[in-house]
Amino acid sequence: MAAAAATSSYDRLKELKEFDESKIGVKGLSDSGNKTIPDFFKHPPQTLSDVKSKSSEARTKNIPVIDLSKVNTPDHHQEVVNQIKEAAKSWGFFQVINHGVPISVLEKTIEAIRAFHEQPQETKSKYYKREESHGVMYTSNNDLYRAEAACWLDSLKAWMGPKPLDPEELPAICRKEVVAWDLSATKVAETVMGLLSEGLGLAAGKFQELTFSETRVLVGHIYPYCPQPDLTLGITLHTDPGLLTVLLQNQIQGLQVRHDDEWVDVKPVHGGLIINVGDFLQIVSNGEYQSVQHRVVANSCKEPRISVVEFFNLSKWKGDGYYGPLPEVLSEQKPAMYRDFTAQEFFENFYSKGLDSKSLIQKITINYD
């Protein structure tokens, strides 16, 4: 038995390496026209068991949609703060509309990311890497060697800050659009973060003061057509580690959010942007806002699913290197739910595992019993 296990794990590693070294990505596999997917993309049945079994209730539910057009109207400002606060508390996910970014900008961004992924293999491969750090990287499954099973997506990742990215590092085909999107997404993130801050009873500029939006990573995913969508996932169940995420998607549905022990489909809203709370915000808000699990089902449409995701985080905070619930949100009635932690712990947790492993939140939750 032991020998058989060793052989099969050896073969798996060999297959992973071959795939990785070929740099063809999932897009290349999809384009090859094969009717089956390699074994290392197949998820165990228990992971897939609830992919198809949606109750009718789950199908009709949707994440809250929040209209930002009245955010600067004094009579309505508080109403928007309340809506955002409620959405971040109960869903951890919401869509914003009338956010001020023209639809043409959203469309151009999606098209540019799609164009990058649709380039010939030889053109894309010079960006193909596996080491995460800075600059620009194109890869398939950033947790390829750590995850239990691979997912049906490729990603272009750009570290936009705190050290400004030299635009020349970006692939020419999407350079202008990525730079423009970073500005738009950052503006929306700052507006939403201001409202979330007010929802915690803090000044709108509190997170700005704490260097919010300096540290940010932009990721352009492609979920190509998958010939066996029932055997794999587009992205495995996870929570986002940072403070806040801004997500732009095309009209191909696939994102699912965990709510009341059910998976809820996020239906694309034309012109809408999806916002979600990350682990860091759950921690600094002392559990007031929820970082919820989400995943993407494998794409069964011939048309690729494209999403452009920007992750925002704090670059520094207390100065002593420790992070934890903001002292302002704590009281005798609401003692700290989480212990303080270091940036090193945060990064070790993120990089030591596949996306779906235990999150940092579970490790730092204080048990008062």
Q: Is 240 in the site for Fe ion (CB under 5 A)?
A: yes
**246 token code pair:** 């801004």
Quote the CA–CA distance of 309 and 289 in Å, as a whole number.
20
Tell me whether residue 112 or residue 275 sits nearer to Fe ion (CB atom): 275
Q: Do 280 and 345 touch, CB atoms closer than 8 A? A: no
Residue of 165, 174, 178, 219 interacting with ligand AKG (CB under 6 A): 219
Single-letter amino acid, residue 221: H
Quote the CA–CA distance of 149 and 138 in Å, as a whole number.
19
Residue of 84, 185, 244, 255 interacting with ligand AKG (CB under 6 A): 255
**Which of Fe ion, ligand AKG, none does residue 296 bind (CB under 5 to 8 Å by kind)?**
ligand AKG
Q: Is 235 in the site for ligand AKG (CB under 6 A)?
A: yes
Collapse the DSSP code of 252 into the 3-class scheme (helix H, G, I; strand E, B; otherwise coil) and give the result.
Answer: coil
Quote the CA–CA distance of 94 and 275 in Å, as a whole number.
5
∠ CA 296-23-255, nearest 5°, is 5
**Which of ligand AKG, Fe ion, none does residue 256 bind (CB under 5 to 8 Å by kind)?**
none
Residue of 182, 240, 279, 310 interacting with ligand AKG (CB under 6 A): 240
Q: Is 221 in the site for ligand AKG (CB under 6 A)?
A: yes
**330 token code pair:** 């704590």
Q: How many residues bind ligand AKG (CB under 6 A)?
A: 11
Asked whether the bond before 64 is cis by omega within 30 degrees of 0, the reply is no
Q: Which stretch binds ligand AKG (CB under 6 A): 23-31, 80-88, 247-255, 341-349?
A: 247-255
Per DSSP, 238 falls in state E
Q: Is 249 in the site for ligand AKG (CB under 6 A)?
A: yes
Least separation in angstroms between CB 294 and Fe ion: 6
Q: Is 310 in the site for Fe ion (CB under 5 A)?
A: no
Which neighbouring-strand residues pair with 342?
Answer: 322
**Which of Fe ion, ligand AKG, none does residue 247 bind (CB under 5 to 8 Å by kind)?**
ligand AKG
Residue of 140, 197, 299, 307 interacting with ligand AKG (CB under 6 A): 307
- Of the candidates 221, 245, 198, the residue with the CA atom closest to the CA atom of residue 95: 245
Contact residues: Fe ion, CB under 5 A: 240
Q: Tell me which residues touch ligand AKG (CB under 6 A).
A: 219, 221, 235, 240, 247, 249, 255, 294, 296, 307, 309
